[in-house]
Structure 1
Amino acid sequence: MGCTPESFKRRTDADALNQLNHSLKKRHLHMIAIGGSIGAGLFVGSGSALSRGGPASLLLDFAIIGIMMFNVVYALGELAAMYPVSGGFYTYATRFIDPSWGFAMGWNYVAQWAIVLPLELTVAGLTVDYWEVDISVGVWITVFLVAIILINVFGVLGYGEEEFWTSMLKLCAIVIFMIIALVCVLGGGPSDGKFDEYWGARLWYDPGAFANGFKGFCSVFVTAAFAFAGTELVGLAAAESENPVKSLPGAVKQVFWRITLFYILALTFVGLMVPHTDDRLLGANPLIDVNASPFVLAAKDAGLIGFDSFMNVVILFSVLSIGNSGVYGGSRTLTALAEQGYAPKIFAYIDRAGRPLPSTILIIAFGCLGYVNLSADGPTVFDWLLALSGLSALFTWGSICLSHIRFRRAWAYNGRSLDDIPFHALFGVWGSWIGLLLVLLVLIAQFYTAVWPLGGGVNDAEGFFKSYLALPVVIGFWVAGFLWKRTGWLRTHQMDIDSGRREVNWAAIHETRKRHASWPIWRRFLSHLF
């Protein structure tokens, strides 16, 4: 069965009847973009990454993933401003690449967030254990799961408000951490503490900037990808915003600040204050061991009473925020899959308040997987769940870049001008090519460490799939989509570039572009960037 403009028209008619609540405001989108994905990957996972690769590998790998994400989000911003439809990037893969690949990306994204939710709930429970509270982790998982349920009772507005205030807390905490870290590195710490004299970059010399050589460098990529997962949610949220053409471009530009200030700069200070040989960074599963958080360790070593507990509270709210984002992202994508016939029709139901209840309930139900960590075999099960979610985001990001490349090709094929696109990716189609190339390089680097892991030798089958499980899962979804719908790679003339476009105020856009054209080159560049 081929993919024709008529089939996309039917899909768009379904979108017109879609009753998702369009109540997300500009401030919500901005905070989702700048702080929405800051969670366990940055605060906790960076500890295992630091121990494997050293401070230099930590910075380089996060910077490379940051460059990739910069281009991915701009490509997504251009597509989402043009087509703010339910399902976001999954719909773009269906429209511009291959419906079977869109099926794979949609279900891969649902699976990713369904697994991330119990992982984040477990991290939240272990975060409380930092204070040595004599209460089972299972009790805390229940408490936090109920909190997420209550937030989702208020639908997308509840998600938007929670993300706004939680992101504010995360960003303020990171700024406070960086200010205190700067004072400590310069020797302004307490007189009886570790940083009572000029500290500088001594840890880059002893024990060294790199650890485990090239393998250590390659092994950090999966943690960096995990830390940036969720950045694409700003495009998914566009379908439920008041005016995506007006609010989305500004939100996309905030990604620059998050990458430079709240990832690169914060991790620079972490590498200056915590040695990669610190035994406290190591553990059986560093990604879900709060004692491995280098932010908490740096705060404790600073010698300021209560600073480590403050950072631990921030981590607690951060992982709950990512858990809530998982419910949002997974449920909206599952609803879009059902609307297009790629999931049971019951998941297409949206109540009068604009909440996709069946989809939300299913994703929340996956939170109960957090309890498996309480059993003797729980950590083994959880290792496999973590393997499933670790690389999933990379396939999503590569799909976004390829969708943008093929959209631009179809746009030119139909004789359309770039002036008819309301928001342009900063580096155009070349930025998407760079993003796609970096995705492929990271997948190759992760394959290298999956076959030849740290410590030498060749990995066994179990070790390999724990590192690379996402690839066979995505291929399986792709094959399932092909067998179900019998669709193939779309030709340029088959791509639908008109359905689903929301009306925009072209007079205001042309006036803004005219004003920007009168500015000097340096001011235009800064305007595009910031």
Structure 2
Amino acid sequence: MASADIEKIAHDHAIPPETLHRAHAHLVNEDHLRRSLSARQVQMIAIGGTIGTGLFLGTGKALATGGPASLLLCYSIVGGIVFMTMLALGEMAAFVPVAGSFCTFAGRYVDDSFGFALTWNYWFNDAVSTAADLVALQLLVQYWTDVFPWYALGIIVWVLVVLANIINVRAYGELEYWLSLLKVVTIIIFIILSIAVNAGGNIGYGYIGAKYWTQGAAPFVGGIGGFASVFVTASFAYGGTESIAITAGETRDPARVLPRVVKNVFWRILLFYILSAIMIGFNIPYDTPGLSTKSSRTSPFTLAFQMAGSKSAGSFVNAVVLTSVVSAGNHATYCGSRLLYTLGANGHAPKVFTRLTRYQVPWVAVMTTSLVSIVLFSLSFAGSGQVWTWLQNIVGVSNQLSWICIGIASLRFRAGLKAQGKEHLLPFVNWTYPWGPWICIILNSFIVLVQGWTSFSPTFGAVDFVSFYLELPVFALMIIGWKLVKRTKLHKASEMDVETDVYTKEDREPEETSWKSKGKRIGTWFCF
């Protein structure tokens, strides 16, 4: 339909032209993404988004640079921020489940230039995340050997991830489901085993207790700089939690499924992150060799299993960590491709990115995101450990910017609903509103500014400074640039589009009912 026809219909029926344009774009583009992800898959994907390279490897770097107290405090603070962010995001995503998720919300409820900058920022975040996961493979393989070609495994996994994302969305969902299930089981075993190791069930260490909290410079290593630097590591580790809402555009009955997923984020944070941080701080000394160096990095999870048994136990968990890296890369590629698709659908990028396969997969977006990731992966020639740290910093700051934007979008979304008298239509209500979004905005902004302390002290590190603060001016320039080019304006609450893409009971699709799908739920029940 031509733009002039849309304008005429809007005039004849007294409908805001912007609302009708968006509805038309929805029919032309958004519905082309097939709702093939089941509740079983989405629930486990939510867990996959919260367990990845940042937890298995990032905790080791955090322990080495900040000590056990910094590890626990920073992961707890960021975990609280993520929980409040997810409540705000879940409220919006359950009401308007679209593939662009919070990036679309930023443009719709705040300003189109805001959504433009955030979507490009988070797309690059996902591309960098995939590259970081590929680099992490090399670090993990070094546990066994240094002679294996650094690029071989990364390329193999990259091809696997591309195939899983380009075949169809069910292939992505199934791969992510089983890999996530393996990670969940491993984390639970790790926590139980760590308690036994600390109590004396280890080889050659005896009763450990809390002695590593007072050893050397512990519990706070590196002073205020070491403490502040752990925030970006924690933000990298939690990154991906918010991206579960991106699956809303391909989720069956999102108004019912997403609130269920969001409500259980608290328990996942407590179990997978806080308890893991506690046990790592108790059982692993911050000065353990290989925990964090420029050339290598050993997972503290691997060290804990090794302490409990033998080299074979360490090898087993290191292999599990490898699968978690594949899962994290798979998830990041999926989210990145959907955001690039959204950019094309919203006119923020060339329309070529909206091209779909016969299985309704945005193949151009998948290949473009994957190619950027493999190019960034090639930077590991500079040293895998150092490159992984730089990529981790960039992704961590990008995650923090996204959480700030989600808070702002949430406040504007509620303002629009209130002005138009539609708050009663919410299928899921964020009980922390309005103080929750405000805490996320203020606390995240403070953390973003202080976490780069180590790049200034004791000496100025130009490369580290860039990795900590590059995102800030780029994000601001993208907002200003798009605003100047397109002359965008802040959306007024009374004129805000809170109708298009709203999901209702009539849109529901039947759940999986086969014996096979019911059997697969076995791995999901204990996570909720």
Say whether the fold is shared (TM-score over 0.5). Answer: yes
The equivalent of 2:263 in structure 1 is 253
Residue 38 in structure 1 maps to residue 51 in structure 2:
yes
Contact 2:126 2:332 in 1 (8 A): yes
Rounded Cα–Cα distance in structure 2 between residues aligned with 1:487 and 1:90? 16
The 3-state SS of whatever aligns with 2:499 is coil
Contact 1:5 1:495 in 2 (8 A): no
- Shift of the 502–371 alpha-carbon distance from structure 1 to 2, 3 Å rule, reads closer
- Shift of the 35–117 alpha-carbon distance from structure 1 to 2, 3 Å rule, reads closer
The equivalent of 2:441 in structure 1 is 436
The equivalent of 1:524 in structure 2 is none
Residue 217 in structure 1 maps to residue 227 in structure 2:
yes
Post-superposition offset of 1:9: 2.8
The 3-state SS of whatever aligns with 1:490 is coil
For 1:297, the aligned partner's letter is: L
The equivalent of 1:390 in structure 2 is 396
Counterpart of 1:424 (choices 423, 429, 432) is 429
CA distances 1:345-374 after superposition (whole Å, capped 9, x unpaired): 101222331100110110111232255245
Rounded Cα–Cα distance in structure 1 between residues aligned with 2:225 and 2:383? 29
For 2:176, the aligned partner's letter is: E
The equivalent of 1:167 in structure 2 is 180
Contact 2:135 2:380 in 1 (8 A): no
- Shift of the 307–142 alpha-carbon distance from structure 1 to 2, 3 Å rule, reads same
Residue 400 in structure 1 maps to residue 409 in structure 2:
no
For 1:12, the aligned partner's letter is: A
CA distances 1:200-242 after superposition (whole Å, capped 9, x unpaired): 1111122322112222111100000000111112111111111
The equivalent of 2:38 in structure 1 is 25
Residue 132 in structure 1 maps to residue 145 in structure 2:
yes
Rounded Cα–Cα distance in structure 1 between residues aligned with 2:396 and 2:191? 28
Residue 60 in structure 1 maps to residue 69 in structure 2:
no
Contact 2:197 2:307 in 1 (8 A): no
The equivalent of 1:336 in structure 2 is 342
For 1:227, the aligned partner's letter is: A
- Shift of the 5–449 alpha-carbon distance from structure 1 to 2, 3 Å rule, reads farther
The 3-state SS of whatever aligns with 1:498 is coil
The 3-state SS of whatever aligns with 1:220 is helix
Rounded Cα–Cα distance in structure 1 between residues aligned with 2:451 and 2:334? 28
CA distances 1:317-357 after superposition (whole Å, capped 9, x unpaired): 11111111111111101111111110001012223311001
The equivalent of 2:85 in structure 1 is 72
CA distances 1:162-196 after superposition (whole Å, capped 9, x unpaired): 1211111001001111111111111123xxx234x
For 2:63, the aligned partner's letter is: L
Deviates more, 1:17-26 or 1:371-380: 371-380
The equivalent of 1:12 in structure 2 is 23
Post-superposition offset of 1:383: 6.1
Deviates more, 1:197-206 or 1:264-273: 197-206
Rounded Cα–Cα distance in structure 2 between residues aligned with 1:56 and 1:382? 24
The equivalent of 1:309 in structure 2 is 315
Rounded Cα–Cα distance in structure 2 between residues aligned with 1:377 and 1:132? 16
The equivalent of 1:199 in structure 2 is 208
Number of aligned residues:
492
The 3-state SS of whatever aligns with 1:36 is helix
Residue 357 in structure 1 maps to residue 363 in structure 2:
yes
Post-superposition offset of 1:447: 4.5
- Shift of the 149–415 alpha-carbon distance from structure 1 to 2, 3 Å rule, reads closer
Contact 1:225 1:391 in 2 (8 A): yes
Rounded Cα–Cα distance in structure 2 between residues aligned with 1:29 and 1:442? 30
Post-superposition offset of 1:282: 2.9
Contact 1:74 1:425 in 2 (8 A): yes
Contact 2:294 2:384 in 1 (8 A): no
Residue 502 in structure 1 maps to residue 503 in structure 2:
yes
- Shift of the 484–377 alpha-carbon distance from structure 1 to 2, 3 Å rule, reads farther
- Shift of the 423–399 alpha-carbon distance from structure 1 to 2, 3 Å rule, reads same
CA distances 1:258-283 after superposition (whole Å, capped 9, x unpaired): 10000010111111111112232231
- Give 5+ residue unaligned stretches, structure 1: 507-529
Rounded Cα–Cα distance in structure 2 between residues aligned with 1:60 and 1:383? 21
Rounded Cα–Cα distance in structure 2 between residues aligned with 1:152 and 1:68? 30
CA distances 1:452-488 after superposition (whole Å, capped 9, x unpaired): 33xx24x254442122111122123223322332213
- Shift of the 238–272 alpha-carbon distance from structure 1 to 2, 3 Å rule, reads same
Rounded Cα–Cα distance in structure 1 between residues aligned with 2:309 and 2:390? 38
- Give 5+ residue unaligned stretches, structure 2: 1-14, 508-527
The 3-state SS of whatever aligns with 1:130 is coil
For 1:324, the aligned partner's letter is: N
The equivalent of 1:239 in structure 2 is 249
Rounded Cα–Cα distance in structure 1 between residues aligned with 2:470 and 2:20? 36
Contact 1:186 1:199 in 2 (8 A): yes
Post-superposition offset of 1:376: 5.2
- Shift of the 109–8 alpha-carbon distance from structure 1 to 2, 3 Å rule, reads farther
- Shift of the 327–167 alpha-carbon distance from structure 1 to 2, 3 Å rule, reads same
Rounded Cα–Cα distance in structure 2 between residues aligned with 1:336 and 1:32? 20
The equivalent of 1:298 in structure 2 is 304
- Shift of the 5–470 alpha-carbon distance from structure 1 to 2, 3 Å rule, reads farther
The 3-state SS of whatever aligns with 2:290 is helix
Rounded Cα–Cα distance in structure 1 between residues aligned with 2:172 and 2:380? 29
Rounded Cα–Cα distance in structure 2 between residues aligned with 1:63 and 1:383? 21
Contact 1:144 1:320 in 2 (8 A): yes
Rounded Cα–Cα distance in structure 1 between residues aligned with 2:387 and 2:312? 35
The equivalent of 2:485 in structure 1 is 484
Contact 2:291 2:297 in 1 (8 A): no
The equivalent of 2:513 in structure 1 is none
The equivalent of 2:10 in structure 1 is none
Post-superposition offset of 1:254: 2.2
Rounded Cα–Cα distance in structure 1 between residues aligned with 2:292 and 2:385? 16
Rounded Cα–Cα distance in structure 1 between residues aligned with 2:393 and 2:442? 23
Counterpart of 2:278 (choices 263, 268, 278) is 268
Rounded Cα–Cα distance in structure 1 between residues aligned with 2:16 and 2:399? 29
Rounded Cα–Cα distance in structure 2 between residues aligned with 1:168 and 1:333? 26
Contact 2:121 2:398 in 1 (8 A): yes
Deviates more, 1:130-139 or 1:61-70: 130-139
Counterpart of 1:277 (choices 272, 282, 287) is 287
- Shift of the 133–281 alpha-carbon distance from structure 1 to 2, 3 Å rule, reads closer
